[in-house]
Chain A
Amino acid sequence: MATPEPVPGIDLPVPARVAGRVQESPTIVTLRLELEDPARQAAFRFAPGQFNMLHLPGVGEVPISISSDPDHDTFLGHTVRMVGRVTRALARLPVGARLGVRGPFGRGWPLEAARGGDVVVLAGGLGCAPVVGAVRYVLHRRRDYGRLVVMQGVKHAEDLIWRAQYEAWAREPDVQVLLAADVAGGDWPWNVGPVTELLEGARFDRGRCTVLMCGPEPMMIAAARRLEALGVPAAAIHLSMERNMQCALGRCGHCQIGPWFVCRDGPVFRYDRIRPLLGVRGF
């Protein structure tokens, strides 16, 4: 038996540099990464919704979605929310710092299949990075898609990042942006309440749309049920799932949900397929 060598970029991280960083909020940073090998950077292909494993030597390695545009950007964008040890260290990286990248991994959003129909994006929680890439993707290819509805929910009004970005998106033709905060602050012209309530005001073709969701699972479950009640087929609803990931290669077993390895069969799942185990405690 010929023994395969570890593949750089898959089994082993390849070195990359922080080429730019944007402090989106006190706890959220967008990193622009460039692989040190220009040929490798130029050849890097991915789809929105896929993710990379970012390795910080001496600290650890975590899965982070790719939020840049696969065709228009010459760097890899990663929006990182500081929640623990590794994300805190990643978010503090200065421009020029070196880190390791493996990827891209997983199945992204079905944006090819979505062509010709409306795209509905529903995001709960902070800096819901997996869908940001999808929104930018659709906006860059505006004529290929119908209406674009972006719904974003946050807990507290002051948590909202990319406020200017949402406002800019809302000015584009056939784009509707709906925002909701569980707890509103002073300057909050939008909805107060759960993000699922925004669905009532969303205008899109329920029979010809693709729904992309990410955020806390109870939110996604509630929204998926509501969408079905509104006449959206379950097969048109897609959810990005998060599970503990140690390898991203379908080997470590940590990301399993029943029969699926989230790193390989996901992270994006069709609602009708994953529904039986969705919300079941322990999976």
Chain B
Amino acid sequence: MPEPGWLPLQRADALLATLREAGYRVVGPQVADGIIRYGPLGEAAALPWGVRVEADAGRWRLRRTGEGRAFAWANGPQALKPLLFAPEETLWRTDADGRPAPQAPEAPPPTAVIGVRACDLAALALLDAHFLRPGREDPWYAARRSGLLLVAVHCTHPAATCFCASTGDGPEAREGHDLALWELEEGWLVEAAGAAGERLLAALPLEAPPAGAAERARTEVAAAAAAQTRRLPEGPLQARLFERLDHPRWAQVGERCLACGSCTAVCPTCFCHAAEERPGLDGSSARVRRWSSCFTEGHSYIHGIVLRPDARSRYRQWLTHKLGAWHAQYGRSGCVGCGRCIAWCPAAIDLVEEMEAIVGDA
């Protein structure tokens, strides 16, 4: 593997320029409408410089510090999931005679995403396992996935809601990325992983890192892991969860849960979607799939019955799937410790606390 290079922060735009020259459209995090959102990134100045995130159960706030870092925050409500598993996608159309007209999956131009976190990479691996199952690859997901280049950033400033260290997924980005940045006050230490990353690394106008930069960077990321206070109970939790389907805590959390589906919407691994028919005025029709959630009534509907009529059974479905059945389906838990569901829950429900109560005593 080539040596990491150094990009001083005042030359951050060189990263975007190199990615563009290599043929990528660049997407990155930006402050918009009071949150951090991933979208087309024109210049490095648009990155969330000098902001931190303060998060807790039911709470997510940006705080401006003015410090000279672009990635001193943990995560916003979404990162990669909407780029790959589109919130809404047309699967096929039928013409006025009812003939299916194939709709080629929309393949976006090759896209480089800057600012991907370790938890996002772990979640991506899980989405890949689900949507790219050998022999049954989802063509729509595959089309969006194929041209993706990932520039990871190792986390130095986790939010209070983060617990990726306890799930083993962060804060250091380990696999799935092409380039990785270690951010220090004065610059980025840039590392490559894989052939595409190495080509880009060679094309970047990099300098020799200042003395001790690598050690300082590693120390910061190690401190980020140590700073995390939330921890999931030691797993795997599958057997314990399914043994405790009648635990009284499910009913208690069901009383608080609004069944709004915010958790599944922000969760980077939730994959559920529903299909709907959109008839046109000319007799044609479109089959569209949209994000859905096990918190909706329709999720468990079969003619005349809703199998999960209450928040208790829906909350239990979410966590018995996420932390339990996922092991049987994909060989690991479906939770990557990003803490989004904790921060974005309007009822301030904390899955770590709930799991502690239900399966914490081993």
Confirm or deny: A42 has a beta carbon within 8 angstroms of a beta carbon on chain B.
Answer: no
Contact between B294 and A58, CB atoms less than 8 A apart: no
Minimum CB–CB distance for A280 against chain B, Å: 6
Once bound together, how far apart are the Cα atoms of A258 and B326, in whole Å?
Answer: 9
Contact between B91 and A12, CB atoms less than 8 A apart: yes
Contact between A98 and B313, CB atoms less than 8 A apart: no
By secondary structure, the A interface counts as loop
Chain B 277-312 interface residues, beta-carbon cutoff 8 Å to A: 277, 279, 283-285, 287, 289, 292, 294, 298-304, 307-308, 312
Contact check: which of A60, A100, A252, A259 meets B100 at CB < 8 Å?
A: A100
Once bound together, how far apart are the Cα atoms of A57 and B142, in whole Å?
Answer: 26
Chain B 114-153 interface residues, beta-carbon cutoff 8 Å to A: 130-131, 133, 136-140, 142-143, 145-146
By secondary structure, the B interface counts as mixed
Once bound together, how far apart are the Cα atoms of A90 and B223, in whole Å?
Answer: 62
Confirm or deny: B271 has a beta carbon within 8 angstroms of a beta carbon on chain A.
Answer: yes
Q: Which of chain A's residues have a CB closer than 8 A to the CB of B308? A: 282
Given contacts A3-B139, A6-B92, A244-B302, contact A250 B133 (CB under 8 A): yes
Q: Which of chain A's residues have a CB closer than 8 A to the CB of B98? A: 15, 57-58, 98-100
**Which residue of B is nearest A86, CB measured?**
B277
Number of interface residues of A (CB under 8 A): 46
Contact between B272 and A253, CB atoms less than 8 A apart: yes
Given contacts A1-B142, A98-B98, A254-B299, contact A6 B277 (CB under 8 A): no
Contact between B131 and A280, CB atoms less than 8 A apart: no
**Which residue of B is nearest A100, CB measured?**
B100
Confirm or deny: A84 has a beta carbon within 8 angstroms of a beta carbon on chain B.
Answer: yes
> Interface code B8-44, partner A: CB below 8 Å = 1, 0 otherwise?
0000000000000000000000000000000000000
Given contacts A11-B91, A57-B98, contact A280 B146 (CB under 8 A): no
Contact between B300 and A246, CB atoms less than 8 A apart: no
> Interface code A44-80, partner B: CB below 8 Å = 1, 0 otherwise?
0000000000010111110000000000000000000
Q: A13-B100, A250-B136, A282-B300 are in contact. List 8 more A-B contacts (CB 8 A).
A: A3-B107, A57-B279, A98-B98, A249-B136, A251-B131, A258-B324, A259-B329, A281-B313
Q: What 8 pairs across the A-B complex have the smallest Cβ distances?
A: A282-B313, A259-B328, A253-B272, A57-B94, A58-B279, A259-B325, A83-B303, A98-B98
